[in-house]
Amino acid sequence: MRFKLTIAYDGTNYSGWQVQPGKNTIQGEIEAAIEATTSQKVKLHGSGRTDRGVHAAGQVAHFDIETRMTPRSMLFALNSRLPTDIRILSATRAKNDFHARRTAHSKEYRYVLFNGGILPPCERLYAVQVHRPLDMELMRKGAERFVGEHDFCAFMANPQRIVESTVREITSFTISKRGSFITFRVRGNGFLYKQVRSMVGMLIRVGHGQEKPERITELLDCKAERTARVPSAPPQGLTLWKVWY
Amino acid sequence: MRFKLTIAYDGTNYSGWQVQPGKNTIQGEIEAAIEATTSQKVKLHGSGRTDRGVHAAGQVAHFDIETRMTPRSMLFALNSRLPTDIRILSATRAKNDFHARRTAHSKEYRYVLFNGGILPPCERLYAVQVHRPLDMELMRKGAERFVGEHDFCAFMANPQRIVESTVREITSFTISKRGSFITFRVRGNGFLYKQVRSMVGMLIRVGHGQEKPERITELLDCKAERTARVPSAPPQGLTLWKVWY
């Protein structure tokens, strides 16, 4: 039977989601907890990878297993074995046509900047400091330009990587400010490798007046040269917030 | 001349404020940063100790040094040398009659509980999970009973310790809830060793119906036996919020 897990994690102490030999990864920890619980080796399929240092509030994954355990007892068993920086928020049975990656129809990411004097120490692992003042209106104008269906080729970290298509649709991109914290909320039907961090990196340049919001439209759909890509923003500000099916 | 520092820290990776041989401490890190900056060994006087795992948003400390450095350049120099989990928020000159501990007239501590299903991983170092539901009204009634001038002998972790007096005044003690997070804010003219964590531990028992709010009045002023003291709440929920002079 197929189990669907909703998972939250603090990515600080992990080399990202995906299993890599000799590294601590979220997928690896959860697969080990499932094996310790059920004595069965399974492969856990996530909705997508997250990079080293990136967090999740609602990552989704599935795995197949023959067991009499209820989803509820699976949830308690896994949480009792997992380190406290990884928590299973819910476990449910899923139909066999459910697939954490393939049947996801949209995702939300959030990115948090601190645009003030001194980053509070207890926020240092979850927000990224930007020293010079950022213009909220310019960044909002820039964010609007990302909304819609576009070829995001210029906002992918590794353009050499073979992907079927670099066309994605952003359905909303909002920016809010509370005190010195600025939160970017972006939702779309899927995201390329490092796309969110590249878009945020570009919006920081826009907020500093180094780029005009119109520049985003020039870069979208590969209308400008590819080498114009901006550095992606650091990982610790990013959280995979929610996946919809 | 005397410098006054306002300091924030994430206490997770430290054995508390006070210098101890062979241990990482906040005081030790800052004294080392001052020495690296000025080539002078100084003693840093904090407003009070914080225990292992306890955080600060506004600890205050002073030290004496002969230097031509301005407070502003001291602040930048120290922050550039300190680890990112300790930040100097402000540095100013202080008069010679200023003393971080002796002239403090009140302090505020905050304590955060998570009273819900699963503690979000990114909050695990800054909030303490309590599983069973807590009754907010009972806890508020209990908190009110702490307000005023009392002998807090029963709410000190180590009653054998020699202290001049165990009489302190609590000027306000409020409890607020936001989602599953419950924040205790307590302000007073001074606090005994582990007093805040003992009071919060007692209020958790009150919130669970294990003790009546009236029990607090019985324990105050040592009207009840000392062995009735409750276990103190864990350190990671506690933050030294502000010190007034």
Nearest CA-CA partner of A123 in A187, A180, A175 = A180
pLDDT for position B230: 72
Poorest-pLDDT segment among A26-40, B44-58, B68-82, B228-242: B228-242
Percent of chain A surpassing pLDDT 70? 95
Residue ranges in B94-230 assigned as alpha helix (H):
136-146, 195-207, 214-219
Q: Is the dihedral of CA B55, B57, B59, B65 positive or negative?
A: positive
pLDDT in tens, A172-226: 999 999 999 999 999 999 999 899 999 999 999 999 999 999 999 999 977 765 5
CATH hierarchy code of domain B2-94:
3.30.70.580
Whether residues B9 and A121 touch (CB distance < 8 A) is answered with yes
Residue B226 has pLDDT above 60, yes or no: no
The neighbour count for residue A105, using CB atoms within 10 Å, is: 9
Cβ-Cβ contacts under 8 Å, B240 against chain A: none
DSSP state of A178: E
The domains of chain A are located at: 2-94, 106-244
Q: C-alpha A135: how far from its chain's center?
A: 25
pLDDT for position A159: 53
| Selected residue of A79, A85, A122, A238 to mutate for chain B interface (largest B Cβ count, 10 A) | A122
Helices and strands per DSSP (H, E), number in chain B: 5, 10
Contacts of residue A120, Cβ cutoff 8 Å, sequence gap at least 6: A114, B8, B57, B87
**What's the average model confidence in pLDDT over B25-36?**
98
Which fold would CATH assign to domain A106-244?
Alpha-Beta Plaits (3.30.70)
CA dihedral of residues A60, A65, A66, A68 (deg, nearest 10)? -40
Percent of chain B surpassing pLDDT 70? 95
pLDDT in tens, B167-219: 999 999 999 999 999 999 999 999 998 999 999 999 999 999 999 999 999 99
DSSP state of A180: T
CA dihedral of residues A66, A69, A73, A79 (deg, nearest 10)? -20
Nearest to B120 among A8, A88, A125 (CB): A8
Whether residues B119 and A84 touch (CB distance < 8 A) is answered with yes
List the structure tokens of B156: 């000190």
For residue B77, CA distances in Å to A54, A106, B5, B58 come to 30, 46, 13, 19
Average model confidence (pLDDT) across chain A: 94
The H-or-E segment that residue B25 falls in is none
Active-site choice (A51, A85, A135, A221): A51
What stretches in chain A show pLDDT beneath 50?
A: none
Rounded CA-CA distance A121/B163 in Å is 33
Q: Report pTM.
A: 0.92
Residue A68 φ/ψ, nearest 5 degrees: -95, 0
Residue B224 has pLDDT above 70, yes or no: no
pLDDT for position B156: 84
CATH fold match for the domains A2-94 and A106-244: yes
Nearest CA-CA partner of A201 in A119, A141, A113 = A113
Nearest to B8 among A88, A120, A125 (CB): A120
Rounded CA-CA distance A121/B162 in Å is 34
List the structure tokens of B69: 């450095």
Poorest-pLDDT segment among A182-191, A221-230, B58-67, B83-92: A221-230
Bridge partners, B169 (sequence order): B149
Active-site choice (B10, B51, B64, B97): B51
Nearest CA-CA partner of B94 in B8, B6, B190, B35 = B6
Q: Is the dihedral of CA A214, A219, A222, A226 positive or negative?
A: positive
CA distance B10 to chain A (A): 5
Q: Is B97 a catalytic residue?
A: no
Per DSSP, the residues of B39-79 read S-----EESS---TT-EEEEEEEEEE------HHHHHHHHH
pLDDT for position B161: 59
The neighbour count for residue A244, using CB atoms within 10 Å, is: 13
Rounded CA-CA distance B82/B71 in Å is 16
Angle between helical axes of B71-81 and B26-38 (0-180°, round to 10): 120
Only one residue has tokens 């990982």, namely: A235
**What's the average model confidence in pLDDT over B92-99?**
97
**What's the average model confidence in pLDDT over B90-97?**
97
pLDDT in tens, B126-169: 999 999 999 999 999 999 999 999 999 889 876 555 667 889 99
**What's the average model confidence in pLDDT over B85-90?**
98
